[in-house]
C-alpha cells in the first residue's frame, strides 16, 4: 500500500526528512510518533501527495503519491486533521455528505444513491440525533465526530489521521479512536495516524514508526518500541513501562527527575 524509498524532504535548506525507507501493508493501523519537530506531519503530507519529496520516492500502490490527480487520489485516500471542519452554517448531515465530493460531477451530482450510506455513517459515529443541528452548535468532540463521518462516507482505502485527538478530553479521545479502530477492522482500511499520546498509540496501532529529527529510529509493534531506553533517547525523559491490566498493551508512566 505505502512504500518509502530513500525519502528526503528539504525545507529552507534543512532536511526535515532524511533518507527514510519503510513499508506499510494494506489493512493495518500504523502510528507515527516522535517529539515536536521530528517531521511527523511532513511525512503525512508526503503520503497524502500534498507535498513532493526533494529526493527519493513515496509510493502508493506502486505509483508516486504526488503523481496522482488530486480528485482521483481523493476517491480512495482521506485525511482527518485536528479541528479541520467546514465553517459554521452547515448541518451535521450536510457536512458529512461533503465527503462524497470526489465522486460527484461538476454539477454536484452522483449516479449512486448514498442516502443509506449517509444514514449508516451517522449511526456509526453516534450523530443520528444531531443530523440536523448546525455545526456551530456542537462541542469540540462532536465536531470531530462529524469530521470522522465526513471521511468515512468517502469510503477510503487509506485514512490519514493528523493528531486527531489533540483538542479533545480523554473521553472523546477514546471514543473517537474506538470508532476509527472498529471501522478500520470492519472494512480493512489502512490507517496511518500521527499521535502525540504514546499510550493511545500503543492501544490502537498495530505497528509504530518512531521519528527523531527527520530520521527513523525505530519501527515495530508497541511492545518492541515502547521500552524505557528508546523513550529516554527520543524524548529525553525517563519512563516506567507497565502492561495495561486489561489489554496487556505497554503503557508509559512518567518518572519525575526530582524523585
Task: Examine residue 88 and state whether it is found in any structural domain, yes or no.
Answer: yes
Task: Examine residue 231 and state whether it is found in any structural domain, yes or no.
Answer: no
The stretch 1-5 carries a mean pLDDT of 94
Q: Are strands 14-24 and 2-11 parallel, antiparallel or unpaired?
A: antiparallel
User: 211: closest CA among 2, 26, 52, 9?
Assistant: 9
**Angle at the Cα of 196 from the Cα atoms of 191 and 199, rounded to 5 degrees:** 85
What would the pLDDT profile of 139-168 be if each residue is shown by its tens digit? 888 999 999 999 999 999 999 999 988 888
Task: Examine residue 45 and state whether it is found in any structural domain, yes or no.
Answer: yes
| CA dist., res. 92 & res. 145, Å (int) | 10
Task: Examine residue 29 and state whether it is found in any structural domain, yes or no.
Answer: yes
Confidence of residue 12 (pLDDT cuts 50, 70, 90): confident
Quote the pLDDT of residue 71.
85
| C-alpha distances out from residue 69 to 48, 58, 143, 225, Å | 12, 15, 29, 36
> Which domain, by its residues, includes 154?
2-219
Quote the pLDDT of residue 87.
64
Residue located via cell numbers 448531515: 93
Mean pLDDT, the chain, whole residue set = 92
Task: Examine residue 205 and state whether it is found in any structural domain, yes or no.
Answer: yes
Task: Examine residue 259 and state whether it is found in any structural domain, yes or no.
Answer: no
Question: How remote is the C-alpha of 183 from its chain's centroid?
Answer: 13
Task: Examine residue 232 and state whether it is found in any structural domain, yes or no.
Answer: no
Cell of 191: 490507517
In percent, how much of the chain has pLDDT > 90? 76
Quote the pLDDT of residue 83.
64
More confident residue, 157 or 111: 157
| CA dist., res. 96 & res. 148, Å (int) | 8
| CA dist., res. 43 & res. 36, Å (int) | 13
Task: Examine residue 251 and state whether it is found in any structural domain, yes or no.
Answer: no
**Residue 200 sits in a domain of what CATH number?**
3.40.50.300
Quote the pLDDT of residue 258.
63
Which pTM does this prediction carry? Answer: 0.92
Question: How remote is the C-alpha of 117 from its chain's centroid?
Answer: 22
The stretch 12-33 carries a mean pLDDT of 94
Quick check: 88 pLDDT over 80?
A: no
Number of domains the chain is built from:
1
| CA dist., res. 151 & res. 111, Å (int) | 19
Quote the pLDDT of residue 85.
63
Amino acid at each position: 500500500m505505502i512504500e518509502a524509498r530513500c525519502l528526503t524532504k528539504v525545507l529552507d535548506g534543512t532536511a526535515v526528512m532524511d533518507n527514510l525507507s519503510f513499508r506499510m501493508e494494506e489493512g493495518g493501523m500504523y502510528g507515527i510518533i516522535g517529539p515536536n519537530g521530528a517531521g511527523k506531519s511532513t511525512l503525512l503530507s508526503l503520503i497524502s501527495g500534498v507535498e513532493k519529496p526533494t529526493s527519493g520516492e513515496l509510493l502508493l500502490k506502486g505509483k508516486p503519491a504526488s503523481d496522482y490527480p488530486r480528485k482521483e487520489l481523493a476517491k480512495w485516500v482521506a485525511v482527518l486533521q485536528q479541528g479541520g471542519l467546514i465553517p459554521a452554517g452547515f448541518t451535521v448531515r450536510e457536512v458529512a455528505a461533503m465527503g462524497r465530493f470526489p465522486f460527484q460531477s461538476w454539477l454536484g451530482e452522483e449516479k449512486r444513491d448514498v442516502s443509506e450510506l449517509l444514514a449508516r455513517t451517522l449511526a456509526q459515529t453516534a450523530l443520528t440525533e444531531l443530523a440536523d443541528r448546525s455545526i456551530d452548535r456542537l462541542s469540540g468532540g462532536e465536531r470531530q465526530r462529524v469530521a470522522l463521518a465526513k471521511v468515512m462516507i468517502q469510503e477510503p482505502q487509506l485514512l490519514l489521521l493528523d493528531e486527531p485527538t489533540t483538542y479533545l478530553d480523554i473521553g472523546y479521545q477514546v471514543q473517537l479512536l474506538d470508532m476509527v479502530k472498529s471501522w478500520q477492522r470492519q472494512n480493512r482500511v489502512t490507517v496511518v495516524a500521527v499521535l502525540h499520546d504514546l499510550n493511545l498509540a500503543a492501544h490502537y496501532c498495530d505497528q509504530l514508526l518512531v521519528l527523531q529529527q527527520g530520521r527513523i529510529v525505530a519501527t515495530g509493534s508497541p511492545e518492541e518500541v515502547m521500552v524505557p531506553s528508546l523513550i529516554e533517547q527520543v524524548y529525553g525523559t525517563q519512563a516506567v513501562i507497565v502492561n495495561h491490566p486489561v489489554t496487556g498493551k505497554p503503557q508509559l508512566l512518567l518518572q519525575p527527575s526530582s524523585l
